[in-house]
Structure 1
Amino acid sequence: MSGGINAHWLMHYRVVTLVNQCRRLIRDEFGVKLALTDPRLREALNDYAGRSGSAELRRLIKQIDEEADEAMPESEAAPPAERPPTRRMYRGQPLPDPPAEPGASEDSGPEKTIIYRGRRVRGG
């Protein structure tokens, strides 16, 4: 179980309620205060649940795992697909495409193209 795989596991009300119950049980048993903002919170909860003598804490951790996995967005469940590049827009109008060659840019040379308020303006 890795907390880094699903970064949104703590963004659901039911999961936060269960985590707060676990935090209270861990504080009572071990005297440790766990912060909700800790990036390794899920790992710490699993660690304390493994060392705890409380069956209630283990049950809550199992329920958190089930709830968090159900609440996982589809975008995180499947590997990201290649999306075609989107056109850059300015005030609803598409901007011109960047030059194809990496060495040739619009900003080089005496005829520098400037876009001001959605219009091309030649500048020097």
Structure 2
Amino acid sequence: MSGGINTHWLMHYRVVALVNQCRRLIRDEFGVRLSLTDPDLRQTLGDYARRSGSDELKRLMTRIDEEAEEAAPETPAVADKAPARRMYRGQPLPEPAPRPTEEQRAESGREVIYRGRRVRG
């Protein structure tokens, strides 16, 4: 399923309707029940469509491929993508302050007591 194929191809209603029609035709012709949760479903459907004598199944598989490609989101280049803002209940969160390095913590000279013990100071 790699090679640029959209992995979310089955998340669209029109594609699911076509896949269910294919599953019915495959069940009638080959006696095999295919599961929608099968990770290799698209490849399996294609294999059965090639082996089938049914023109309807081949036509449906072509439409599934077309619909899945149309539904594929356009993904911009990874380098162009800015990091996503962190959100909480629809509001952007402030950017976290950079953590001080070990050297900066040692220079601060503050005494830190944790559970009754002097940790730094």
TM-score, normalised to structure 2's length? 0.70
Q: Does residue 93 in structure 1 map to residue 94 in structure 2?
A: yes
Mapping of residues 1-124 of structure 1, within 5 Å:
5-75=5-75, 78-85=76-83, 92-99=93-100, 104-105=101-102
**SS, match of residue 53 in structure 2:** coil
Which ranges of structure 2 fall in alignment gaps of 5 or more residues?
113-118
Which 4+ runs in 1 deviate beyond 6 A? 87-91
Q: Tell me the matched-pair count.
A: 108
**1:34–1:95 distance in 2 versus 1, CA, 3 Å:** same
SS of equivalent residue, structure 1 residue 74: coil
Quick one: distance in 1 between partners of 2:110 and 2:39? Answer: 50
The equivalent residue for 1:118 is none
Larger Rg: 2
**Identity percentage over the alignment?**
61
Per the normalisation by structure 1, the TM-score is 0.68
* More helix per residue: 2
